Structure 1
């Protein structure tokens, strides 16, 4: 593989100019320090004089030659965001003017990447600057493809401030003239493309550069378990009119926290199945009989009322309560993410209970019936669907999120060794992975959006690892690595520095390790916990330590802002174990309109994910301790 050179402010490959920097005589001086193979630290020194009328913008522009087939601002823009129906920023221009985003809107500090046939080139700001910084991209007819950093921080022409919503641009005026010379720095990372969409080296280098900004582990595993159980049992659980289960979270109303019961889901936001299974583990580990009663009550009522004769499973109990036995309605849509949760959690519950001497064959039967439905309704291409009506008609066919069902079939195969399940899983994965390779991103994971996102890549990654473990075929491991690089583009690599006037600044919140949601929702959540274990596996199978580091950063980030029962935010005392769903790390609205705050929405799913990660290890420790005690006695 050829080496790139940086000479005379030009990036060269085999003597040919790949890119260069913008030059203006007398306004600045550039130096480039080689920091390893194909990586440079770019320093630009501005000499502030009276010769220029205004010094309200200090730009750094890197210009690629050749046709750019793919570009990306991590977590913000994936080749224009043209997939989907949302009104998030599309393309490079807003009414003819380049989109300019604040550096903290991206998971890599003011990070951008553009790829030609010859090179995948990424740049990002080297450190937090008192002025802040911004990034923009533009196809300039006579210059090439421009990637620009701007100091101070600016956003415009409009600010994307809430889902499908905009506000006026934010253009800061700098007052940083205490020095005659101002120095701004950026990293440049480049390599010859090894994939059609090659962002792995860019993201790996960005992670390495920011290692010193790592998070801090705030709670022990035992504390996380105890707080999570407290929240699940005492604030989320309820029994009413024959239903036993969990609300989707708590909202503030009339000076207190109130359960939100309008969505009662088996998985996704509600996580009824996962929380019920964790209660069964609470019994298995600690012997709490009430946890067993509740866990069984939840799963029994779901299996008794939600399973359909065709094998489908009604995913929202609030709609079961509304429609009862009138299943021929077009309001209920049973989606891939919820169906996956039903399959995997019911099978896990079945086996755990069998070990405890409790028979629940219905759980296994229900899970395998869903798998059978999926294989019978799979399209010839291997494609599955995002959701079905109760009668088996597809309500939404599009989106990588359908791969949740391929992953579910891997568990179905493990359960009964059905060749039909395995073949369908392989075909489904193949379809969705080819789609990912074609576009460089995944789509439609969240049920309330239709856009490029993070969540839809999670089943693609986990299914690849499941198929690798089942078949031993290395192509699945290679696929897992590629999907993981995409998921890494949603992870925050650094800590945004917030002022004391902001809520996040007062909370001391650290962004590193957190993951942004989608190009339609610009905020951080803990959903990365869903691929924590997959990244730990990937580190084991590849020997690359970076995946273990990224996984641990996911976990540590997700431990922030969990209430111990005394936490007060904006005058609201948070219940023990509760945590906000969203952290608004950029100019994004809470329901009250503040930037750099929290969502004020205490959801069930983040608690469910943490308990799920811990429960098998906790049970294994208990069993090992019991064996040791028996051996000693």
Structure 2
């Protein structure tokens, strides 16, 4: 157990101005400061600090311990743009290993509060199981900054309609390897990573932050695996100085959604992410990605498909697993290859896509008429459980195929009959509240009644309305949107859209925004505005998962060595703490919102996403740790977490390029939904 030396402390904040983002004044009172010093081979000692006011000095306070310490700590407090800027200077009088920590009392009752660490923590993370970070395990959490899409923590008091946030402003340039992931860890070199979080101090919510990183009461090392707390110690040589900078602000918000919107806009303006200077044009990206369509083609089974799930990164050898949607996206890849084949006069792509579509039309449906959405020919197994998400994504792909073919004067009546039947079965599956079950069987019995995947179904219903001119499908889509508004958007509760986790996730908010975007495209007047407003509200939550800064990597961590910039990449979910290229149509949604609301942040960030997600394109001489050209990586591990193998700076050894290629292809083929709705 670490030794504790406690001393009466000072420093506090008095909160002023609460117009959106208000200033915070720094006065003696309610802030705790602490420095932890470690001698290698010995337990660390924590020293509480108290302020001594300085006069006629660059710094405002010297933070002192009860005894003379081998480190001097000074604070400078400034007001800048209505926020409080806190600069901390640490100077070593002798060689030390240190960890610095500060806690700021908000004045809000903890039980009245909801919490926010972007891309990782929403409200109280109660959708997440106790095996992942959530209030189920603790009501106080400190985490590494690189877990977060912005190095920030926010606390929102629902009772007071106020929030307070703290974010770090330093140059995030370097990271260091450590030999251990728990306990007291001495870093192998310099890092830029600190920590941030919230704590319950005697019933009052506290913003806690410091440097270098800590994680408590648990760290999170892989899916559903909490580990003991960790505290990192950095070496500071005699005479060496380090400067640390945080910004603190308070504001008012009418609800949690309003709080997230204000905070995202604040973060965007603070970190000002710029497009990544990548040399790859969209044409080059598609040319390289199209090699996946050829290399992954499998035609020796009753279903013909691109093999894109559960592949090894070091081999990319095709297997017998075909998946219509989710991580496979067989039918969307077939359409993308088909359209590209015609554009570029690629007979190989056209021939392959024809075989895929023909095989699914002949052999790809269950007895009831749903897609055989997940088939494993290696094990002679067909998953008997269907998902509304995979079924919807298959419908989406075929609708685009049929619309493209109709425009070229080619008809596919058998496909049309199949799609009508599927949509009619969707109407049977829909619940009275407008939701769709997440998982079900061929006989319509429900396996998972959760409505988190409802937005997935909304897309093909709107498309079916436009393609077949059948208002029943539009009515169903509107009922689904009513559910989304009532249960997801208005409650700021986006959950369980992904199929391999039960938690808060990016895809739920992204799909919700896309679903209401579709409805806004086919409605007018007040109805159009209503759906547009819902799209905007959900979009802020989706945006909150996307990185606004570049996390540092240590030398020897591959992703850092090849220069990956994380801005524009999205974290996945509370359970799966890695970044990926899941965007699909979301960039189109952002550009549309930008025009609809005259909000340049949306379109500007869409360009950041578009440029940043080109960085890991595997091609000869630039394979990025992937065995084959065009097989874009998936599980990009950017923090101290792994999906099972390798850890920060690398990928998991198993990946699914089926969906990554499909996502990037849609990103680089803008305007599909708007074009479809105009036909």
In the alignment, what sits opposite 1:107?
A: 149
- Within the candidate set 238, 255, 280, 1:195 is matched to 255
Separation (CA, whole Å) in 1 of partners of 2:343 and 2:623: 32
Separation (CA, whole Å) in 2 of partners of 1:205 and 1:240: 54
* Structure 2 residue 527 is matched with structure 1 residue 527: no
In the alignment, what sits opposite 1:418?
A: 470
In the alignment, what sits opposite 1:267?
A: 325
1:400 is paired with a residue whose SS is coil
* Structure 2 residue 117 is matched with structure 1 residue 73: yes
In the alignment, what sits opposite 2:561?
A: 506
- Within the candidate set 234, 249, 258, 2:317 is matched to 258
CA-to-aligned-CA distance 1:352-391 (integer Å, 9 cap, x gap): 1233333212222222222211122211111111122011
- Within the candidate set 280, 284, 288, 2:346 is matched to 288
In the alignment, what sits opposite 2:31?
A: 22
* Structure 2 residue 631 is matched with structure 1 residue 578: yes
Separation (CA, whole Å) in 1 of partners of 2:445 and 2:25: 52
Separation (CA, whole Å) in 2 of partners of 1:322 and 1:92: 40
1:10 is paired with a residue whose SS is strand
Contact kept? 1:580, 1:599, Cα under 8 Å: no
- 1:416, distance to aligned residue in structure 2 (A): 2.2
Contact kept? 2:273, 2:548, Cα under 8 Å: no
- Within the candidate set 512, 516, 519, 2:571 is matched to 516
* Structure 2 residue 429 is matched with structure 1 residue 385: no
Alignment of 1:368-447 (within 5 A): 368-437=420-489, 439-447=491-499
In the alignment, what sits opposite 2:5?
A: none
- Of stretches 195-204 and 589-598 in structure 1, the one that deviates more from structure 2 is 589-598
- 1:519, distance to aligned residue in structure 2 (A): 0.2
Alignment of 1:96-245 (within 5 A): 98-116=140-158, 117-128=160-171, 130-141=191-202, 144-177=204-237, 179=239, 182-197=242-257, 198-211=259-272, 214-233=275-294, 235-245=295-305
In the alignment, what sits opposite 1:628?
A: none
Contact kept? 1:110, 1:149, Cα under 8 Å: no
- 1:276, distance to aligned residue in structure 2 (A): 0.8
1:83 is paired with a residue whose SS is coil
In the alignment, what sits opposite 1:627?
A: none
In the alignment, what sits opposite 1:595?
A: 648
* Structure 2 residue 13 is matched with structure 1 residue 9: yes
CA-to-aligned-CA distance 1:446-502 (integer Å, 9 cap, x gap): 211111111122221011111112123212111111111111221111001222132
Aligned residues: 597
The verdict on how the C-alpha distance between 1:169 and 1:86 changes in structure 2, with shifts beyond 3 A counting, is closer
Contact kept? 2:113, 2:205, Cα under 8 Å: no
The verdict on how the C-alpha distance between 1:424 and 1:348 changes in structure 2, with shifts beyond 3 A counting, is same
Alignment of 1:328-339 (within 5 A): 331-339=383-391
2:209 is paired with a residue whose SS is strand
- 1:78, distance to aligned residue in structure 2 (A): 1.7
- 1:54, distance to aligned residue in structure 2 (A): 8.3
- Within the candidate set 411, 416, 441, 1:364 is matched to 416
- 1:615, distance to aligned residue in structure 2 (A): 4.5
In the alignment, what sits opposite 1:43?
A: 87
The verdict on how the C-alpha distance between 1:360 and 1:251 changes in structure 2, with shifts beyond 3 A counting, is same
The verdict on how the C-alpha distance between 1:370 and 1:333 changes in structure 2, with shifts beyond 3 A counting, is same
CA-to-aligned-CA distance 1:73-101 (integer Å, 9 cap, x gap): 1122222222144621122865x8x4321
1:166 is paired with a residue whose SS is strand
- Within the candidate set 595, 603, 609, 2:663 is matched to 609
- 1:111, distance to aligned residue in structure 2 (A): 3.6
In the alignment, what sits opposite 1:545?
A: 600
Contact kept? 1:92, 1:138, Cα under 8 Å: no
Contact kept? 1:196, 1:437, Cα under 8 Å: no
- 1:45, distance to aligned residue in structure 2 (A): 4.3
2:51 is paired with a residue whose SS is coil
The verdict on how the C-alpha distance between 1:457 and 1:542 changes in structure 2, with shifts beyond 3 A counting, is same
The verdict on how the C-alpha distance between 1:131 and 1:285 changes in structure 2, with shifts beyond 3 A counting, is closer
- Within the candidate set 517, 522, 537, 1:470 is matched to 522
Contact kept? 2:106, 2:206, Cα under 8 Å: yes
- 1:14, distance to aligned residue in structure 2 (A): 7.5
The verdict on how the C-alpha distance between 1:252 and 1:177 changes in structure 2, with shifts beyond 3 A counting, is same
CA-to-aligned-CA distance 1:119-168 (integer Å, 9 cap, x gap): 122211112364520012112116x2101111112223432111012344
Contact kept? 1:236, 1:249, Cα under 8 Å: no
Contact kept? 2:309, 2:658, Cα under 8 Å: yes
TM-score, length of structure 2 as denominator length: 0.81
For the aligned residue pairs, the C-alpha RMSD in angstroms reads 3.1
2:637 is paired with a residue whose SS is coil
Gaps of 5+ in 2: 1-10, 33-49, 53-62, 64-72, 173-190
Separation (CA, whole Å) in 2 of partners of 1:436 and 1:563: 37
Separation (CA, whole Å) in 2 of partners of 1:292 and 1:423: 36
In the alignment, what sits opposite 1:61?
A: 103
1:147 is paired with a residue whose SS is strand
Contact kept? 1:561, 1:579, Cα under 8 Å: yes
Contact kept? 1:526, 1:581, Cα under 8 Å: yes
Separation (CA, whole Å) in 1 of partners of 2:623 and 2:381: 40
Separation (CA, whole Å) in 2 of partners of 1:606 and 1:139: 40
- Within the candidate set 511, 516, 528, 1:459 is matched to 511
In the alignment, what sits opposite 1:327?
A: none
Separation (CA, whole Å) in 2 of partners of 1:395 and 1:112: 37
Separation (CA, whole Å) in 2 of partners of 1:207 and 1:89: 25
CA-to-aligned-CA distance 1:16-71 (integer Å, 9 cap, x gap): 999975153231655444443x5343334457679xx9873322322212333311
In the alignment, what sits opposite 2:372?
A: 314
Separation (CA, whole Å) in 2 of partners of 1:523 and 1:14: 35
1:160 is paired with a residue whose SS is strand
In the alignment, what sits opposite 2:42?
A: none
